[in-house]
Amino acid sequence: MTTSSRVTELGTNCEIAALARHYCDLIRKAADDGAWLKAVADLLPRLHAAIASVEADCSCIDHSDPVDLDARFERFTILRGLLGDRDSYWLEFDSAAEGLNAMTGSLADDLTDIYSELEQGLRLFDLDPEYALAVWTSGYEHHWGRHLIDAERHLVTLGAQSRLDL
């Protein structure tokens, strides 16, 4: 690897870490900021573009890192409460004939899963930035990338309806 490509890679790592930190800060402080949802809607496309452009060696990933389900559920519950009727959305296979209760998409779930994956990577980033990037990339490809796409789609819909301000 040339010095130039190494510097570019380091810059990309730092950019993704900065976006991840900003996202996690927005989610942690959501209850204190009525404009947090608009800020998340603005940030997610940048995060998406940054992580999608990365090629990392994911073969070294240890997926045995435990998930704190209680903390995850607490974060989900807070976000769901803040989002209220903005939380649920239709997925392709939902049956509209069954009414609004048949919506299975949850913005709170999407945002929580993205948060959990990014937060895990941030804990690793200070120790080993390349490993953290591989963890983020692997998680994006296998899990949180779908949540990111669903969240972006729903946030665009909410924005078009002028419903991003809480």
Structural domain boundaries in the chain: 3-56+65-160
C-alpha to C-alpha distance for 6 and 136, rounded to whole angstroms: 19
- Whole-prediction pTM: 0.86
CATH fold of 3-56+65-160 reads Four Helix Bundle (Hemerythrin (Met), subunit A) (1.20.120)
Taking only the tens of pLDDT, the chain with its 166 residues reads 443 344 345 567 789 999 999 999 999 999 888 899 999 999 999 999 999 998 877 667 766 567 788 999 999 999 999 999 999 887 765 455 555 555 578 999 999 999 999 999 999 998 999 999 999 999 999 999 999 999 999 999 999 999 998 7
Quick one: DSSP state of residue 87?
A: S
Alpha-carbon distances, residue 46 vs 15, 18, 139, 146 (angstroms): 10, 11, 17, 16
